[in-house]
Structure 1
Amino acid sequence: MSCDADVSLDAWLADLAEAGLVRAVVSAPDPVLAGEGAEVDPTDPAVIGLAADLVATMRVSPGCVGLAAPQIGVSARVFAVDVTGHPKTVTSHGTFVLCNATVVSASRWRPGREGCMSVPDLTGDVKRASRVVVEGVLPGTGESVRLTTDGFEARALQHEIDHCAGLLFLDRVAGAHALYQRKVYL
């Protein structure tokens, strides 16, 4: 995307978050988390509303860097990501929402610790590509985009795409030895 597109996209996302409803996050073993999400029409007003709800919910959730539609009870291939400000972030495309996203290339596989709002009590070590190219469609405009990213943002994208396919990080850990009780800081 060009700089001008980034500026208008940022303004659109700010408006989107303001218009969205904060939704409850479902927890495992809710069946919506295990089903493959349906492809969506990114220009459908219901999908645009869903995108707004995802951004609004993500913004009020401490530590949240991504949220997929199944996590708010909607079986659809839509998710929001924003890794801005996270200490592990090297590359960041800011806040964005993608529909019908797929990983088209992945390389440099590395293990890393993951958590999830839908699995609030555990974290786990998951091996993921640290460099990915993802294609998806922006809600509202229907514009196809291709994102190339690395590091923590690449991990977040893969995590959310997994949610849209009915997978949790628990499905990717090597075994019980790679699961940990989430630390609670008071």
Structure 2
Amino acid sequence: MLERFFVKPQTIDRIMDCWLGPQIDEYVTALCDRGYAPRSIYRRVPVLMKFAAFTAAHNVDQIEQAEVLIEPFIDDCLFTRRADRSAEACRRDPNFVGGVVQHFFNQVVSKSDNTSRRTAWPIPFATQVPGFFDYLREERGLRASSIHHYRHYLRGFERYLRDVGCEVTTLSLPVVTGSSRRRLSTSGLDQ
């Protein structure tokens, strides 16, 4: 499966020659079966290669022993990359690196089939304004991606209305602007 993502035979050989090579190939196959985008797969393999090198440097060649080195690996990755990275990239890196390695262990080592433990977000204003999103899609012609973004912001607005004790049917301009002010103040853009 690696040959679908890496053109050079040397790259595939290098991946398969590392001690986690067969497991990385199995992981790539599992990601393909789940419909992951090629770019996502392409970004994950180098992280796993670095993890394999890190564990080999710590004299670990058993998959069961390698899992305890995830946190030290994340710290090592961040320490070596911090000098040439922006603050925002340094903040995101532990989530990405740790997420990739943990996902690898869940998919390949544990053979865990659960993709997410999250429950679906409720549809905002579903009881107050039933059929609103169907109206946007069918009557107004909005795309699914636009409706998805609307839901994100309307959840926050619904939460604000609940906090201030206001119903949708009694909306006024001060309530709407208050919601905007709160969102701006929490994002730091109000200055």
Q: Given the two structures, how large is their TM-score scaled by the length of structure 2?
A: 0.26
Task: Specify which structure has the bigger relative contact order, considering alpha-carbon pairs within 8 angstroms and separated by 6 or more residues.
Answer: 1
Structure 1 or 2: larger helix share? 2
Report the TM-score, using the length of structure 1 for normalisation. 0.27
Larger strand proportion of the pair: 1
Larger Rg: 2
